[in-house]
Amino acid sequence: MTGMSGMNGAQALIRTLTGARVEVCFSNPGTSEMHFVAALDSVPQMRGILCLFEGTATGAADGYGRMTGRPAAALLHLGPGLANGLANLHNARRAATPLVTVVGDHATYHKRFDAPLESDIDALAGSVSGWTRRSLRSADVAADAAEAVAAASTGMIATLILPADVSWSGPAEPAPALPVRSPSPVPEDVITTAAKALRSGEPCLILLGGTVVRRTGLEAASRIAGATGAKLLCETFPARLERGAGLPPVPRLAYLAEMAAPQLAGTRHLILAGAQAPVSFFAYPGQPSSLVPEGCEVHTLAGRGEDGPGALAALADLVAADATGQSRATEQSPATGQPAGRPGLPDGALTAEKASAVIGALLPEGAIVSDESNTSGLGLGSATAGAPPHDWLTLTGGAIGQGLPLAAGAAVACPDRPVIALEADGSAMYTISALWTHAREGLDVTTVIFSNRSYAILAMELERVGAGSAGDAARNLLDLSRPALDFTALAAGLGVPASRATTAGELAAGLRQALAEPGPHLIEAVLP
Amino acid sequence: MTGMSGMNGAQALIRTLTGARVEVCFSNPGTSEMHFVAALDSVPQMRGILCLFEGTATGAADGYGRMTGRPAAALLHLGPGLANGLANLHNARRAATPLVTVVGDHATYHKRFDAPLESDIDALAGSVSGWTRRSLRSADVAADAAEAVAAASTGMIATLILPADVSWSGPAEPAPALPVRSPSPVPEDVITTAAKALRSGEPCLILLGGTVVRRTGLEAASRIAGATGAKLLCETFPARLERGAGLPPVPRLAYLAEMAAPQLAGTRHLILAGAQAPVSFFAYPGQPSSLVPEGCEVHTLAGRGEDGPGALAALADLVAADATGQSRATEQSPATGQPAGRPGLPDGALTAEKASAVIGALLPEGAIVSDESNTSGLGLGSATAGAPPHDWLTLTGGAIGQGLPLAAGAAVACPDRPVIALEADGSAMYTISALWTHAREGLDVTTVIFSNRSYAILAMELERVGAGSAGDAARNLLDLSRPALDFTALAAGLGVPASRATTAGELAAGLRQALAEPGPHLIEAVLP
């Protein structure tokens, strides 16, 4: 049933989304979403992309949002569909990605019958969303959608629960896009407090994160470091780090607490710019959770929803003026860029270190790297530091299975840029069917699987948590070698051309070819 | 740190589980579960089985519970791990399967630091669990586990949230198993009310479900039908239906409301024995949600937690006595069994109907069928009706991705019985990595993929919901043909020997070989 406009709720909803520039919908629909699906043909501005698993849809929407700064939509089927998408929504929440989730539900009048697929969608949605609403009338759904987009655009997940009858009924009209709230300016006294710390002569460290680790924020931070001697670090898992030759190099805080501690040691003032105060990723017996050194004062310059890059620029101007007025004027430098430089191409049997060097040697300009390489990728940071400018997307929330979906979304967002997914074998298996979407959409994604045939990070953690020497039963749960996963066969099954590399030369040849050809490729890098 | 017993929380927990006969733990652990994993070596009675995705762990635990009537454990990592397992927990909840979920969490003192993997585990757990507890002290965890097993054993999901420090600290001692509450006897007046309906001379239908659709309950129901002329139906998606030659044949209520309506039409008394009142699986514009015919009185003979088979037996005795006392005595028959019989082996190009006939012709005695064949399996019921006795496990909650994991759990539960997973191609892709666990554990599972290269059920539903003729954009979201999934390659990548059948003869040959050889096999049945 449609209104005088000729539109049902689904049509008005999709038009409202596209009117607010939500133009891609990563989809895994079911029966309750069939009117939404049918409505796609009446709104050609919306691109529906099919995913074979919901975690691919949500992870792709995350990748799209990280690269465009605008939300994509993820279309999911009832509670179980949302559940399958939650792990990557968790990562998106930690990344502060703008993302609109549309979760179809039973018709309003059907809920009370407790049909087999009935479940508590609201509880699931609430666990990851900054904004949640259940549309209850077709006449309201467009306005609800406009609010969802506005909320999501501030850097959160907005979940719209869409009952089937609200979707199929009318009358409904599209709603105009709502203004998007800009990040709040940081109050002047907060900036002057930070400046005071920087002027104290005591050791200062600025921890950068969120939107600050793009060129503008990094350059402002680099000016401050140049003027004051403050140390710079990037949060451990940035959503999107701009890096490479010419960009200010900012090392990442280490994942392992015992490696992070020396990076932070001696700091008297820790200034947070878009980052949270550093904490251990996990707890370990007898180890502290907070990584803030004793006696260190923590200053939050800019938190979530605040204009971190603007605050850093204002702070840079302030402390640069100091320097100009003093004898240090001559020492003051503009933002210092990372010198260009690449490792040489190694040869011989492949190791994790050599794989990193190959990637550093060949990483193309403008690449987008989706990094879920875990233990195998420990050498990637230094190997790629001087490569041409590129974006580095990391596992923000620690929920593995992000990398292949994220790469899909980044490739849809930036069709003219090469996307490289660096994947641990164990992590790849959570959302392996994302490769099919790479193939389906002809996405220019090159996937490198670091195949060490184990949950290597857990083998390391088993030692670190002090769980004692592992016996056979424990080791059995960390081993991926029986049977060995054959990623070239998996890729073939999903329509992606694939090769296997056991030497550094084979990896380089495979990577060169994959980067030269359009469309998706996979290389299984077999590690010891 | 351990107590005088020498045990930490994890060790006491696992010993408590095995003491209560929870002897298998389907696992996908992370760092916070490392002490649990390490503790497995101190309790050899517990078998840890690695799954590459949490949905496999929970689905396998469901299959195990359905076949043994006792809970297996599923070990999951924090909120995102639980989220990945929720869809199959939803199915297990609908199946009333006994199942213990152990969800590792951050150490109690680490929670407040909001580390990257922090999330609302309790909200997720509550959405599927009948019993949830967060263990807060090592000294309590064993008693908590004993309660979890006792709760799960009544036919529900019990979720124990296990903080890492509760796991690694002591002192802790195992707790003794708690008594398991038996199903409540149905009050006599409820039985006599049902008898009155059956004696009314008006059309009666008994809808059977839950534990009633095993041999004992089916035979009691069949005696009632023989004595009174009542019609028998099985719920649409039984957790475990015993059927085949010699067992009373009970047709299943159809999935499609328009096919279910004639099965129920004319019923004056609907007697529910372990089943819920029938409702439409989804809502459709202009169609009623309830499938109970107008003017039909609904009598709940036995609901959840009640002794349905016992109530049916008592009811059968009651109405049989009537019959004996009347002239109908001679007509009264004991439970009538399904005559043995199989379809002939078809030949020629494969169709869904021919695939069903091949399966009916070759289904081995004692087989356990995990059925997620969806539209392709519509002919399976009649094709296998007269096959030797077997169990039929269905998609209880409608959350697809159940079939391959469920088969794994059933095979672990019943190592001496052949397990056959009948899978739709789209559904298989949600948890395809379950095949790796089939191979890892050498499980005797034969998987048949019904490969029609589309979400055929959605194409049908798109028509049924009245969404109009589908355009290209809509059809694109239901199509799996670009690129075609190659399930033999996927199986090879996961370590399972595979073949492809395009004719009925090839399917028969492949199935014969798979059934004759131990261990897992996969056959891709290519359908038009």
Among B340, B327, B324, B326, CA closest to B223:
B324
How many helices and strands in chain A, by DSSP H and E? 20, 17
Give exposure, B105-143, as e/b (b: 16+ Cβ within 10 Å): bbbbebeebebbbbbebbbbbebbbbbbbbbeebbbbbb
Interchain proximity B477–A29, CB inside 8 Å: yes
Q: Which of A339, A495, A354, A515 is nearest to A421 (CA)?
A: A515
**Does residue B60 surpass a pLDDT of 90?**
yes
pTM for the model stands at 0.97
Q: Which phi and psi angles does B230 have, rounded to 5°?
A: -60, 150
Q: Whole-angstrom Cα distance, residue B406 to residue A99?
A: 33
Mean predicted lDDT score pLDDT of chain A = 95
Is B168 within 8 Å of A478 when comparing Cβ atoms?
Answer: no
Lowest mean pLDDT segment, chosen from A264-278, A356-370, A406-420, A447-461: A447-461
**Nearest-CA distance from A455 to chain B in Å?**
9
Judge: A282–B484 Cβ closer than 8 Å, yes or no: no
Selected for mutation to probe chain A from B14, B43, B46, B90 (highest A CB count within 10 Å) is B90
A83: nearest CB among B86, B276, B285: B86
Quick: pLDDT tens for A387-437.
Answer: 999 999 999 999 999 999 999 999 999 999 999 999 999 999 999 999 999
Q: Which of the four pLDDT bands, split at 50, 70 and 90, describes residue B519?
A: very high
Per-residue model confidence (pLDDT) at position B6: 84
* Residue A331, pLDDT score: 45
Interval A340-346 mean pLDDT? 98
Q: Between chains, do B127 and A94 touch, taking CB under 8 Å as contact?
A: no
**A153-210: pLDDT as tens digits:** 999 999 999 999 999 999 999 999 999 999 999 999 999 999 999 999 999 999 999 9
Contacts of A122 in chain B (CB under 8 A): none
pLDDT for res B336: 82
B128-164: pLDDT as tens digits: 999 999 999 999 999 999 999 999 999 999 999 999 9
Confidence category of residue B486, pLDDT binned at 50, 70, 90: very high
DSSP element (H, E) containing A72: strand A72-77
Residues in chain B with CB shorter than 8 Å from the CB of A120 are 126-127
**Residues of A in Cβ contact (< 8 Å) with B473:** 40-41, 44, 46, 48
Test B477 with A37 for CB contact under 8 angstroms.
yes
Interchain CB distance below 8 Å, A90 and B34: no
Asked whether the predicted pLDDT for residue B84 surpasses 80, the reply is yes
Instruction: Read off the DSSP letter of residue A52.
Output: S
Q: Which of A325, A302, A304, A328 is nearest to A315 (CA)?
A: A302
Q: How far is CA B419 from CA A153, A305, B238, B414, B451, in A?
A: 49, 54, 17, 9, 20
Give the length of chain A: 528
From residue B387, give the alpha-carbon distance in Å to each of A276, B254, B407: 63, 21, 20
Our measurement of the distance from residue A526's CA atom to the centroid of its chain's CA atoms, rounded to an integer in Å, reads 26
What is the nearest CA distance from A137 to chain B, expressed in angstroms?
15
Q: Which of B29, B106, B436 sits opposite A283 (nearest CB)?
A: B106
Name the residue type at position B45.
Answer: Q
Tell me the one-letter amino acid at A238.
Answer: P
Residue B93 has pLDDT above 60, yes or no: yes
Q: State how far the Cα of A458 lies from the Cα of A460, in Å rounded to an integer.
A: 5
B462 band by pLDDT with thresholds 50, 70 and 90: confident
Using only C-alpha atoms, chain B has a radius of gyration, in whole angstroms, of 24
pLDDT in tens, B328-363: 444 445 668 999 999 999 999 999 999 999 999 999
Contacts of A29 in chain B (CB under 8 A): 458, 477
Cβ-nearest to B41 among A81, A124, A473: A473
B103: left (phi over 0), alpha (psi -120 to 50) or beta: beta
Among B82, B109, B441, B465, which would you mutate to test the A interface (most chain A Cβ atoms within 10 Å of its Cβ)? B465
- Which residues of chain A have a CB within 8 Å of the CB of B109? 283, 289
Name the residue facing A477 among B29, B482, B493 (closest C-beta). Answer: B29
Alpha helix positions (H), B389-503: 403-413, 425-428, 434-440, 456-464, 472-476, 487-493
Nearest chain B residue to A43 by CA distance is: B473
Interface contact flag, B282 A164, Cβ < 8 Å:
yes
Judge: A486–B465 Cβ closer than 8 Å, yes or no: no
| Mean pLDDT confidence for B305-309 | 96
Choose the mutation target among B11, B51, B52 for the interface with A, i.e. most A CBs under 10 Å: B52
C-alpha distances in angstroms, B102 versus B26, B50, B436, B443? Answer: 10, 14, 22, 24
d(CA A517, CA B520): 38
| Record: contact A52-B290, CB cut-off 8 A | no
| Per-residue pLDDT at B326 | 52
Q: How far apart are CA B339 and CA B357, in angstroms?
A: 17
Q: Which of B86, B282, B429 sits opposite A53 (nearest CB)?
A: B429
Rounded to the nearest angstrom, the minimum Cα separation between A244 and chain B is: 26
Which of A81, A115, A482 is closest, CB to CB, to B440? A482
Do the Cβ atoms of A282 and B494 come within 8 Å?
no
Among B200, B199, B395, B183, CA closest to B273: B183
Residue B2, pLDDT above cutoff 70: no
Q: Could you read off the pLDDT of B119-138 as tens digits, one per residue?
A: 999 999 999 999 999 999 99
Q: Looking at the partner chain, which of A276, A480, A493 has a beta carbon nearest the beta carbon of B489?
A: A493
pLDDT of residue B341: 97
Q: The tokens of B224 are what?
A: 């009632």
Say if residues A402 and A395 touch (Cβ distance below 8 Å). Answer: yes
> B157 CA to chain A: closest CA distance, Å?
14
A462: pLDDT confidence band, cut at 50, 70 and 90? confident
pLDDT value at position B470? 79
Residue A404, both tokens: 């292949």
User: Which residues of chain A are within 8 Å of residue B45 when distances are taken between CB atoms?
Assistant: none
- What DSSP character marks residue B173? -
Q: Which residues of B touch A90 (CB under 8 A)?
A: 79-80, 83, 117, 119
The reported pLDDT for the residue numbered B457 is: 87
Quote the minimal CA–CA distance from B79 to chain A in Å. Answer: 8
Closest alpha carbon to B403 in B96, B74, B155, B87 = B87
The shortest CB-CB distance from B470 to any of A38, A473, A488 is to A38
3-state SS, residue B512:
helix
Q: How far is A514 from A501, CA to CA, in rounded Å? A: 13
Is the CB of residue A421 less than 8 Å from the CB of residue A521? no
What share of chain A in percent tops pLDDT 70?
96
Place of tokens 């402390």: A319
Q: CA-based diameter of chain A, in Å?
A: 78
Q: Do the Cβ atoms of B234 and B264 come closer than 8 Å?
A: no
Substitution target from A14, A52, A103 for chain B, most B beta carbons within 10 A: A52
**How far apart are the CA of B106 and the nearest CA of chain A, in angstroms?**
7
Q: Average the pLDDT over A303-318 and give the result.
A: 96
CA distance B382 to chain A (A): 24
On the CB side of B528, CA atoms within 13 Å amount to 8
Phi-psi region of A21 (alpha: psi -120 to 50; beta: other; left: phi over 0): left
Closest CA to A71 of A7, A125, A149: A149
Which residues does chain A have within 8 Å of residue B29's beta carbon, measured at their own beta carbons?
458, 477
Mean pLDDT, chain B, as a whole number? 95
Determine if the peptide bond prior to B171 is cis (ω within 30°).
yes
Give the A:B interface size as CB pairs under 8 Å: 321
Confidence band of A2 (pLDDT split at 50, 70, 90): very low
Cβ of B493 within 8 Å of Cβ of A486? The answer is: yes
How large is the ipTM? Answer: 0.96
- B30 and A482 in contact by Cβ < 8 A? no
Q: How confident is the model at residue A336 (pLDDT cuts 50, 70, 90)?
A: confident
Question: Which residues from A are below 8 Å from B79, CB to CB?
Answer: 86, 90, 127
Q: Please count the other Cβ atoms lying within 10 Å of the Cβ belonging to residue A344.
A: 8
pLDDT for res A322: 79
Distance (Å) from the alpha carbon of A336 to chain B's nearest alpha carbon: 31
According to the model, what pLDDT value does residue A328 have?
46
Distance from C-alpha of B75 to C-alpha of B73, rounded to nearest angstrom: 6
**Start-end of H helices in A388-470:** 403-413, 425-428, 434-440, 456-464
Residue-wise pLDDT for B377-434, tens only, equals 999 999 999 999 999 999 999 999 999 999 999 999 999 999 999 999 999 999 999 9
Taking only the tens place, the pLDDT of each residue in B418-449 is: 999 999 999 999 999 999 999 999 999 999 99
Give the pLDDT confidence of A475-507 residue by residue, as tens digits. 999 999 999 999 999 999 999 999 999 999 999
- Indicate yes or no: CB of A282 within 8 angstroms of CB of B106: yes
pLDDT at A329: 40
Range B17-48 burial, b when 16+ CB lie within 10 A, else e: bbbbebbbbbbbbbbbbbbbbbbbbbbeebbb
Burial of A126 (0-12, 13-18, 19+ CB in 10 A): middle
Domains of chain B, with CATH numbers? 9-168 (3.40.50.970), 188-330 (3.40.50.1220), 352-526 (3.40.50.970)
For residue A508, the model assigns a pLDDT of 98
- In this structure, the strands spanning B390-393 and B241-243 are antiparallel
Tell me the per-residue pLDDT of B247-299, one tens digit each, with 9 for 90 and over. 999 999 999 999 999 999 999 999 999 999 999 999 999 899 999 999 999 99
A481 contacts on B by Cβ (under 8 Å)? none
pLDDT band at A325 (very low <50, low <70, confident <90, very high): low
CA distance B429 to chain A (A): 7
Among B50, B89, B119, the residue to mutate for chain A (most A Cβ within 10 A): B119
Closest CA to A225 of A304, A312, A311: A312
Cβ count within 10 A of residue A401: 29
Residues B383 and B360: beta-carbon distance below 8 Å? yes
Q: Retrieve residue B104's tokens.
A: 């590792």
pLDDT of residue B333: 54
Residues in B closer than 8 angstroms to A482, CB to CB, are 440
